């Protein structure tokens, strides 16, 4: 990956459809998400199409699905398929995996195999959708493996559009995505790199507190147009957290084109902008080290 040629690294994009055409979410939950983001009828791109989309914009993207089979009953897109799709486009795509913590030891073995044999560079958790509290010991063997593997863990935080408006929220419990629950994880796994995804409504201040207190906790800015960012998030991104805030879009429900257009209007210091758009992610993901390694 040629970092110098990239204008940005999007750390939050979704592979929503598998090679067989099957979605990672049930039709009911997908419809609720589309309605929440006002993206009804948006086309779900293939991984190859995602690569071309980001390549045409001189951007790289982290790609993942969500394994939430325990709660939803919907089988996930195979992590190996996501990794292989990204491996075909190493100039622009970076594979993350997702493992349902309820899989126990089998999930731990899968995590190790995905990093060692498939080039996965991080893991995505969605506590609300996966039906677990981040501080539940059921997930600790998986965290331990990810910490040992030296790759980041990205956690959805805050409200989710998935299940919004569905009776009972489709069984999705918002409280599992309070970032304060991840503070325990940061304490118990002090070398684990953690990304708190999204402006964490209604727990924005909690997310800022955890990220400023724990040295390896970062925040990505996906899922919201920057024009809606809470003022305290902008203030911290400009100052105390300028080295720990990351560009993310939530593509395809929110495009990087829209996100970047609104980010251009945000009151962010010129010296901080390149950190948020590329430099912080490159360091966290080890891409800078890749650049320095001889071919």
Q: Which tens digit of pLDDT belongs to each residue from 193-223?
A: 999 999 999 999 999 999 999 999 999 999 9
DSSP-H helix ranges across 56-191 = 69-72, 79-87, 104-118, 127-130, 140-149, 180-188
Encode pLDDT of 122-165 as tens digits: 999 999 999 999 999 999 999 999 999 999 999 999 999 888 88
Report pLDDT for 31.
66
Cα gap 162→208, rounded to integer Å: 24
Residue of 70, 71, 28 whose CA lies nearest to 173: 71
Residue 130 sits at φ, ψ, to 5 deg, of -85, -10
Pick from 9-23, 27-41, 270-284: least confident: 27-41
**Three-state DSSP state, 106:** helix
Report pLDDT for 295.
42
Say whether the peptide bond before residue 252 is cis (omega within 30 degrees of 0): yes
Angle (nearest 5°) at CA 109 between 107 and 110? 60
Cβ neighbours for 189, distance < 8 A, ≥ 6 positions apart: 143, 144, 147
Distance of CA 146 to the CA centre of its chain: 15
The pair of structure tokens assigned to 30 is 């997908």
The most confident of 27-41, 67-81, 173-187, by mean pLDDT: 173-187
Encode pLDDT of 223-236 as tens digits: 999 999 999 999 99
Cα 208 to Cα 28, 91, 117: the distances in Å are: 33, 32, 35
Report pLDDT for 4.
93
Q: Say whether pLDDT at 294 is over 50.
A: no
Encode pLDDT of 250-264 as tens digits: 999 899 999 999 999
Report pLDDT for 161.
84
**18 falls in which pLDDT band (50, 70, 90)?**
confident
**19 falls in which pLDDT band (50, 70, 90)?**
confident
Pick from 30-44, 114-128, 233-247: least confident: 30-44
Cβ neighbours for 294, distance < 8 A, ≥ 6 positions apart: none
């Amino acid at each position: 990956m040629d970092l110098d040629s990239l204008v940005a690294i999007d750390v939050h994009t979704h592979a929503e459809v598998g090679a067989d055409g099957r979605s990672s979410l049930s039709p009911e939950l997908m419809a609720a998400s589309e309605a929440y983001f006002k993206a009804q009828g948006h086309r779900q791109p293939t991984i190859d199409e995602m690569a071309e989309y980001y390549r045409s914009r001189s951007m790289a993207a982290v790609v993942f699905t969500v394994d939430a089979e325990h709660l939803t009953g919907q089988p996930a897109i195979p992590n190996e398929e996501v990794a292989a799709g990204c491996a075909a486009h190493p100039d622009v795509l970076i594979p993350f995996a997702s493992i349902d913590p309820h899989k126990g030891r089998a999930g731990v073995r899968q995590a190790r195999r995905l990093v060692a044999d498939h080039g996965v560079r991080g893991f995505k958790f969605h506590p609300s959708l996966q039906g677990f509290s981040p501080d539940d010991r059921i997930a600790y063997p998986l965290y331990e493996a990810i910490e040992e593997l030296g790759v980041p863990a990205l956690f959805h935080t805050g409200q989710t559009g998935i299940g919004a408006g569905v009776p009972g929220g489709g069984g999705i419990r918002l409280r599992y995505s309070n970032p304060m629950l991840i503070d325990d994880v940061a304490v118990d796994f002090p070398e684990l790199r953690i990304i708190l995804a999204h402006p964490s409504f209604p727990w924005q201040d909690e997310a800022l507190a955890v990220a400023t207190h724990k040295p390896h906790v970062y925040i990505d800015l996906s899922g919201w147009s920057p024009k809606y960012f809470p003022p305290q998030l902008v203030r911290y991104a400009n100052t105390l957290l300028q080295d720990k805030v990351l560009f993310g879009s939530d593509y395809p429900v929110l495009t990087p084109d829209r996100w970047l257009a609104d980010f251009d209007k945000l009151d962010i210091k010129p010296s901080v902008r390149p950190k948020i758009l590329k430099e912080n992610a490159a360091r966290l993901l080890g891409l800078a080290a890749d650049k320095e390694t001889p071919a």
